Amino acid sequence: MKAHRSKSRGKSRRSQRSASGSVKATPAVSERPKLDLSKIRHALRTPINHIIGYCEMLQEEEKLPVSFQKDLQRIHDGGRQLLSLISEYFDEEKFSAKRDLHQLYHELRTPVNHVIGYAEMLAEEAESVGRKKYVPDLQKIRDAALTWLALMEEHLIPPNVKRDQSAADLALTGPAIPEPGISFHIAPPKNAHLAPFEQGSLLIVDDDEANREMLARRLRRYGYTVNIATSGLEALRRLRAEKFDLALLDMIMPDIDGFQVLAKMKADATLQHVPVIMISALDQEYGIARCIELGAEDYLAKPFNPVFLRARIGACLEKKHLRDREQETYRALVESQKKLAAELAEAATYVKSLLPHPLQGAVSAEWCFHPSTQLGGDAFGYHWLDDNHFAIYLLDVCGHGVGAALLSVSVSDVLRSETLPATDFRNPAAVLASLNRTFKMENHNNMYFTAWYGVYNKSNRELVYASGGHPPAILVVENKTDALEVSELRTRAPAIGCFDDATFTSASAPVGPDDLTRSAKAGDWHPARSLQFVQQLRGSETLEDDFSLVKISFN
């Protein structure tokens, strides 16, 4: 918008600025100095006569498009309506001292908003279709209407009442009020097809037909899909039945007003996320604050500044787009987590199915396995290598998830099936060295694992073992004084798969005669009790890592 300003009426415009203060109930006309109604009628009729005069000159143009003729007639009708309202409200015999000035302001402002809106749209259309000769007269119509708004506020707003946003201040949120000598250039929106967030379904809620029609035409020109509701109740029905990206809601309506519609929307879980822009010819600060408190995204005062209207709708739709994307991402994340949890549960069930059965006999075995929610990659097993040698192993893959579980299953398979090449499975150090060569971390998604491997010789009751970065096995025996002796069984070596030149060594430990390992003290311990103890310490049944505990008794 370009403006050329003259120096006249500066004092008048400054007088339109209101003093600060709290908003109070609007005083009746009788509470202010007596109005000279004849002077007010004259002042307000002058710009209306300009509106009607320029409009009639344009209507006399030959070959005027039908759409132009209809809109010019609407402007003409609006001007005539304003003249009629002025005669009705400012006649000495009919004037009511009890009339609420803000209500009167609203009733008078509605038709002038129609004049401004249609004049702006016709000016834009005239420039875009090559009929620029109509633009100056359309600008004069608009300027006259804005001047009328300034005059109306000058005469109707009491000086002792704070106007939170006078017509002179509308330059901040709407069309500027011109002084004589100011001319406006209203350019049509350019590159509308390139503007962001100008796609979407909008619902206009207004009981005034001309307001709806003007706003709908402008928004359709911007590329929006526009729907109409003529009342608050109809708006609620449509909002519940259809999907809209934004609602533009008039504050003053006959059945239920905009405040009530907004409150019902924000109280409804299915509607509370639909953004709302409140629109009204009234622009008091308390009304704007109430709208925002109730959950409105923004507020627009009539008449609309086309640039601000477009920008604010675009900003609201951008925020909604971001919220929708956030909710979409959250839903996808929840779905992904559900799917992952199902996969992990399935993998945990599979891993558990591969674990060995409990044993009874010369060697007895029992265990407890509690997978974490992320599946930690624990595995263990035991089996007879021959009639005299019994193998025991435990391992823990670094990391969590299905990948860790698959690696632990692969390692368990080669140990259980004894398929490591050129390996003596009765030699723990040789077994770990062979695993280190076979399962290099660079070949397994940079995953490595720790392991403990032992072989029990039944004939000489000796346990030979080796470890690679794994916690020690615990040997518990009862000595001749009935005291329990606890030994940690481990050898020093790195985790499996980390270093090609890693060295593994074996160590051995006697397990003692039969009668010492059958004592009540040593045999009273159960793996499941240890799990319960750990869960009690954490205060939760869910653990961050797999819990694996194997008890081997050498009878």
Local confidence pLDDT in tens for the 555 residues of the chain: 344 433 333 333 333 333 333 334 444 444 444 556 777 777 788 888 888 888 888 888 877 788 888 888 988 888 888 888 887 777 666 655 545 566 677 777 888 888 888 888 888 888 877 788 888 888 889 888 888 888 877 776 554 444 444 433 333 333 433 433 333 343 444 444 444 455 789 999 998 887 788 788 889 888 899 999 999 999 999 999 999 999 999 988 888 989 999 999 999 999 999 999 998 766 566 778 888 889 999 988 776 777 888 899 999 999 989 888 998 999 999 998 888 778 777 877 888 888 899 998 889 999 988 888 777 788 999 999 999 999 999 999 998 888 888 899 999 999 999 999 999 999 999 999 999 999 999 999 999 999 999 999 999 999 999 999 999 999 988 766 667 788 899 999 999 999 999 999 999 999 865 433 333 344 456 788 888 888 888 888 887 888 888 999 887
Using omega within 30 degrees of 0 as the cis cutoff, is the peptide bond preceding 303 cis? yes
Strand partners, 393: 381, 453
Same domain, 361 and 292: no
- 141 and 217 belong to one structural domain: no
Q: Is 429 helix (H, G, I), strand (E, B) or coil?
A: helix
- Looking at the structure of the chain, the number of domains it has is 3
- On whether the CB atoms of residues 438 and 397 are closer than 8 A, the answer is no
Peptide bond into 47 cis (omega under 30): no
- Residue at which a domain ends, from 336, 353, 370: 353
Q: Residue 146: which of 3, 310, 26 has the closest Cα? A: 3
Residue 98, token pair as written in the block: 């009890």
CATH number at residue 261: 3.40.50.2300
Q: Are residues 131 and 218 in the same domain?
A: no
Q: Is 197 helix (H, G, I), strand (E, B) or coil?
A: coil
Residues 403, 532, single domain; the answer is yes
For the entire predicted model, the pTM comes to 0.49
Write down which residue in 299, 322, 353 finishes a domain: 353
127: which strand partners?
none
My answer on whether 72 and 92 are in the same domain is yes
80 and 104 in a single domain? The answer is yes
Is the same domain home to 17 and 66?
A: yes
CATH code (residue 496): 3.60.40.10
Return the closest-CA partner of residue 379 out of 551, 496, 546.
546
447 with 515, same domain? Answer: yes
CB 408 within 8 A of CB 470: no
Contact 260, 234 (CB under 8 A): no
Rounded CA separation 233/463 (Å): 84
Nearest in space to 229 (alpha carbons), one of 210, 249, 199: 249
Q: Indicate the residue among 135, 158, 187 that finishes a domain.
A: 187
**Whether residues 201 and 342 fall in one domain:** yes
Q: Domain range holding 242?
A: 189-353
Together in a domain, 156 and 284: no
Query: Phi/psi at 285 (nearest 5 deg)?
Result: -60, -40
369 within 8 A of 547, measured Cβ to Cβ:
yes
Residues 360 and 399 in one domain: yes
Tell whether 157 and 282 lie within a shared domain.
no
Gap between the Cα atoms of 486 and 456, Å rounded: 18
- Which of these, 417, 425, 428, lies nearest to 493 by C-alpha position? 428
Instruction: Count Cβ atoms below 10 Å from residue 467 Cβ, excluding itself.
Output: 27
